[in-house]
Structure 1
Amino acid sequence: MIKDKNQFRIVFMGTPEFALTSLQYLIDSQYNVVAIVTVPDKPAGRGLKIIESPIKKYAKENNIECLQPEKLKADDFVQTLTNLSADLFVVVAFRMLPETVWSIPKYGTINLHASLLPQYRGAAPINHAIINGEKITGVTTFFINKEIDKGNIIDFEKIEITETDDAETLHDKLAITGAALLLKTIDNIRNGNITELKQDNIITKDLKIAPKIHKTDCAIDFNKDINVVYNFIRGLSPYPGAYSNIYRENKEPLFIKIYKTKINNNYSGECIPGNIISDNKSFLYISSKNGWLEILELQIASKKKMNIKEFFNGNKIDENSYCFNLEI
């Protein structure tokens, strides 16, 4: 017998804004979310203020039980989950679950991943898809098993990556597309109308991964092709942010994060990687090995993000300035 939505018991697990969109879709669709699992509160920022995850804030506002385990294998946490008698666990942007957790529900545990699996398994699929210059990406729902992002696929949905998308705009598109796909997937599970696809049966010539991005991965290499540099910057914008250093005569290097650029096809000056051309008023161009990037939005250390005109209010670029990263 098929259960009604309000009788189909779901435990939702997630942390960031990406997960919040999916949770809101489930609640608005009248699914019975009996509990939410998210990360423990933690101090952040200069004042080390205790920060709650977006998922916890939503749980409090909507009077939904919220669990914040330090250890996912803890006996008391596993017992609490078991006592909830959930039909399904739903995971969006959370931690790797032990088998003692994902094996609890009658219908298993499903995950929403922000790529077209098996491509871009890992923690940062949105960033890596843009960095690699992909034109198409998407979202996938799958059953969790013992290996990260390798469970049987239930469904997927493709979307286009535009030339001007960055990690933020693509994130927002995928959050909405993913929430709709997740809702469709849960409806089909509840109705007994799914067909599982093993990822090993998907033929792919070039399997790309999406590991977590660290600060040391974010240094811009202007020795590369102009399109590679352009994609690298937008793939890391706004977080964690691609960076470089501007070296000026008789001044300390100026650390900058670059958030928004465009390829300038109108300037034909000689391309020497890292060279800077500017009028100190309205434009700042930086050369790659075969083209020029116009910098539109950036940030210097201890300052807010700013457009190029705001940057020139307090900063000047001399004739021999250049960009370079010691890390590369």
Structure 2
Amino acid sequence: MRLVFAGTPAPAVPSLRALHDSPHEIVAVVTRTDAPLGRKRVLTPSPVAAAAASLGLPTIKADRLDAGATAGITALAPDLGVIVAYGGLVREPLLSTPPHGWINLHFSLLPRWRGAAPVQHALIAGDPVTGAGVFRLVPELDAGDVYDELRYPVPPRASAGDVLAALADQGAELLVRVVDRIAAGTASATPQQGEVTYAAKLTADDGRIRWDETADAVLSRIRGTTPEPGAFTTVAGARLKVLAAHRADREPPLAAGRIALHAGQVLVGTATAPIALARVQPAGKQAMDAGAWWRGQRQAEAVAGS
């Protein structure tokens, strides 16, 4: 089939490459326009745009699938539209332009966590299992019938970045299988069943650690907001990014937010058991071992969130 692929961030790249290696033809790649990155705000192509260039695929750069983008895509006469984390909505008449419509690879077990940040919300909520699914795009957000899905048990210390990378690779294989079935006329889709939950785009404040929550909730927030937007707290008024932490159930209890060194570990109290900080990043500095950061504080105890 003739495919139009729409995607923007790095997790969409494995799907683009897998489809490029399949028997199907990618007639165009749609991705968002170059964005200013870094301290010098240099205009930089999206990861999907860079991958498309390396594969020699024509690219349409658009932040919205407006009339111009719709006309460009329609002129290519695609059989199927494929979208993976593009960052924009597909509306009519573009939604009905390809004879086989559009399909979307989404990184959750729908209808749980419809929306922009499904993996992050799944980890923050402490879901033991998440996954990915390929569904038919409809006007309502992430509500279409599901062609196929995969389940992924969340590893105990995995971050949202780790889980998303794994789902991006496994989901690419799932996506190609669904496209093959659609081409062969053997694909079937099932209506979503279960409680609908939504995964709104995270803000910086979603990464703020609430030390009065349980240890499980604190660790889930740290993992779910790593690497973006980043889990953080404050110590003596200075921002401290927490990159990795783990349970410390056998250590002596600490008041919520209290930081202390015990048996070589930097512990922080929660509403239940303390947790041990492993990697941190003070404001304006490089990431470092939590022990090295604490030695630089030159104090016996401190309070996080102060």
Sort the TM-score into its range (normalised by shorter chain). over 0.9
Contact 2:266/2:294 (CA < 8 Å) preserved in 1?
no
Tell me what 1:5 maps to: none
Work out whether 1:324 is the aligned partner of 2:305. Answer: yes
Letter in 2 for 1:80: G
Query: Where do 1:41-120 residues align within 5 Å?
Result: 41-74=34-67, 76-94=68-86, 95-120=88-113
Contact 2:269/2:275 (CA < 8 Å) preserved in 1?
yes
Tell me what 2:218 maps to: 229
Distance 1:79 1:96 in 2: 16
Q: Which runs of 4+ in 1 moved over 4 A?
A: none
Aligned counterpart in structure 2 of residue 35 of structure 1, from 21, 28, 31: 28
**Which ranges in structure 2 are unaligned for 5 or more consecutive residues?**
none
Shift of 1:92: 0.1
Tell me what 1:193 maps to: 186
Contact 2:82/2:104 (CA < 8 Å) preserved in 1?
yes
Contact 1:43/1:50 (CA < 8 Å) preserved in 2?
yes
Secondary structure, aligned partner of 1:321: strand
Distance 1:219 1:297 in 2: 16
Shift of 1:46: 1.3
Distance 1:70 1:208 in 2: 26
Work out whether 1:293 is the aligned partner of 2:275. Answer: yes
Contact 1:73/1:101 (CA < 8 Å) preserved in 2?
no
Query: Where do 1:1-328 residues align within 5 Å?
Result: 8-74=1-67, 76-94=68-86, 95-199=88-192, 202=193, 204=194, 206-247=195-236, 253-269=237-253, 271-278=254-261, 282-312=264-294, 315-324=296-305
Contact 1:73/1:100 (CA < 8 Å) preserved in 2?
no
RMSD over equivalenced CA pairs, Å = 1.6
Shift of 1:324: 1.3
Distance 2:246 2:71 in 1: 54
Contact 1:131/1:231 (CA < 8 Å) preserved in 2?
yes
Shift of 1:283: 2.7
TM-score, normalization: structure 1?
A: 0.89
Letter in 2 for 1:316: Q
Contact 2:31/2:63 (CA < 8 Å) preserved in 1?
no
Contact 1:12/1:90 (CA < 8 Å) preserved in 2?
yes
Greater mean deviation of Cα atoms: 303-312 or 11-20 = 303-312
Distance 2:64 2:212 in 1: 45
Contact 2:212/2:271 (CA < 8 Å) preserved in 1?
yes
Secondary structure, aligned partner of 1:64: coil
Secondary structure, aligned partner of 2:150: strand
Distance 2:171 2:302 in 1: 45
The count of corresponding residues between Structure 1 and Structure 2 is 305
Letter in 2 for 1:209: Y
Q: From the superposition, tell whether residues 317 and 184 of structure 1 become closer, same or farther in structure 2 (CA, over 3 Å).
A: farther
**Identity percentage over the alignment?**
30
Cα displacement string for residues 45-84 of structure 1 (whole angstroms, at most 9, x for unaligned residues) = 210101110111111122211001244222x322211110
Cα displacement string for residues 155-190 of structure 1 (whole angstroms, at most 9, x for unaligned residues) = 111111121111111011101111011011001100
Contact 2:266/2:291 (CA < 8 Å) preserved in 1?
no
Contact 2:268/2:275 (CA < 8 Å) preserved in 1?
yes
Shift of 1:319: 3.0
Report the structure number with the largest CA radius of gyration.
1
Greater mean deviation of Cα atoms: 160-169 or 178-187 = 160-169
Contact 2:15/2:173 (CA < 8 Å) preserved in 1?
yes
Secondary structure, aligned partner of 1:230: helix
Contact 1:297/1:306 (CA < 8 Å) preserved in 2?
yes
Contact 2:206/2:229 (CA < 8 Å) preserved in 1?
no
Letter in 2 for 1:318: Q
Distance 1:132 1:20 in 2: 27
